[in-house]
Amino acid sequence: MSEQDSQNTYVETKSSSSWQLPAIIVLALLAVGGLALAWSNSSKLDETKQAVANQVKAFQTSVQSDMNTLKDRLAQDEKVNADLKGDLKVVTDKLKITQGQLQKARSETAQLNSDTASKLTALDTSVHQELATKATADDVKTVDTKVTKVGSDLSKTINDLNMARSELGTLIARNHDEIDVLRRQGERDYIEFSIAGKNQPQKVGNVTLELKSTNEKKNRASIALTVEDKTTEDKNRSINQPLFFYLSGTHQPQEIVINKIGKNQISGYLSIPKTHPVTAAASSSGR
């Protein structure tokens, strides 16, 4: 072999060795990377399998718990159903008895209603007959006697009360009870009043009263009386002492009586003859 051929062979051998080593290193790195990726995927797969297994186990546990609960409820429902069947049987048995009793009660009620209707018819006939013969002359006499007795009792009540009379002959009431007695006589109208506070005009029937002053110790009061737009002041009027005044064109007096005096307050009544309307006005006053 010539020297030139030897040199060529060496150069080719050297060139061939220079690219094989890097290729081997690259292949080795790829293999190692592949192994690492495979190991990582294997680890993740194991973790996934474990998680799935845990979830399946938890689900199985939950399902088992629910099944146990349903079994318990089913057992309770079966027991309640059995109890209800027993109660239903008892109620059914009692209902049969009740229906029999109800039928008997209906029969008795029908008979009772029939008897009651007959008795009511007889009673109604009897009552009508009694009412038809009630208004006899004797009954009229009885009514007249009762009216007379009531009048006598009223007169006796007035005498028992020892009610005083004014100089014009009218009875003077000293309190509410005696005013009621006079009302029942029916001869006059009586309007009670109560005035609290001085200088406060108050309408009483057909007049206006105003309290000016009071003297509790002496049972006296001063008032102002307004009649037909005319005001008259009456000073130191004694308790139960009537104050008379006349309407224009009339001859029967109206009267005001104070039968209670307190501190800055009075109460009493206005007496009006039946022949005069309450809305009429009075014209003059007297003692």
For residue 207, give the CATH number of its domain: 2.60.98
- Do 215 and 116 lie in one domain? The reply is no
**Mind listing the pLDDT tens digit for each residue in 156-188?**
555 545 567 766 777 888 899 888 988 888 888
- Do 239 and 162 lie in one domain? The reply is yes
258 domain-assigned: yes
What domain range is 244 assigned to?
A: 154-273
For residue 228, give the 3-state DSSP assignment.
coil
- Is the C-alpha dihedral spanning 137, 142, 145, 151 positive or negative? negative
- Do 111 and 204 lie in one domain? The reply is no
- Do 115 and 197 lie in one domain? The reply is no
- Do 256 and 188 lie in one domain? The reply is yes
139 domain-assigned: no
* pLDDT reading at 222 higher than 90: yes
- Do 183 and 119 lie in one domain? The reply is no
192 domain-assigned: yes
217 domain-assigned: yes
For residue 168, give the 3-state DSSP assignment.
coil
Q: What is the pLDDT of residue 97?
A: 57
- Do 165 and 232 lie in one domain? The reply is yes
Q: What is the pLDDT of residue 278?
A: 47
- Do 258 and 173 lie in one domain? The reply is yes
Could you give the C-alpha distances from 201 to 195, 208, 226, 287, in angstroms and in order?
Answer: 9, 6, 9, 21
57 domain-assigned: no
- Do 163 and 256 lie in one domain? The reply is yes
176 domain-assigned: yes
41 domain-assigned: no
Q: Which residue has the higher pLDDT, 208 or 107?
A: 208
- Please state, as a whole number, how many other Cβ atoms lie within 10 Å of the Cβ of residue 128: 10
Q: Rounded to whole angstroms, how far apart are CA atoms 125 and 143?
A: 26
Q: Rounded to whole angstroms, how far apart are CA atoms 252 and 84?
A: 92
Q: Rounded to whole angstroms, how far apart are CA atoms 238 and 225?
A: 15
- Do 158 and 120 lie in one domain? The reply is no
Q: Rounded to whole angstroms, how far apart are CA atoms 56 and 192?
A: 100
114 domain-assigned: yes
Which element (helix H / strand E) includes 239?
none
Domain boundary among 126, 145, 179: 126
- Do 226 and 117 lie in one domain? The reply is no
Q: Binning pLDDT at 50, 70 and 90, where does residue 122 land?
A: confident
pTM over 0.75: no
Q: Total domain count for the chain?
A: 2
Asked if 284 and 246 touch (Cβ cutoff 8 Å), the reply is: yes
- Do 115 and 171 lie in one domain? The reply is no
Could you give the C-alpha distances from 258 to 206, 219, 221, 239, in angstroms and in order?
Answer: 17, 10, 8, 5
Mean predicted lDDT score pLDDT of the chain: 75
Among 276, 226, 235, smallest CA distance to 258 is for: 235
> Using H for helix, E for strand and C for coil, what is the string for 88-143?
HHHHHHHHHHHHHHHHHHHHHHHHHHHHHHHHHHHHHHHHHHHHHCCCCHHHHHHH
* pLDDT reading at 121 higher than 50: yes
Q: What is the pLDDT of residue 257?
A: 93
Domain boundary among 126, 142, 176: 126
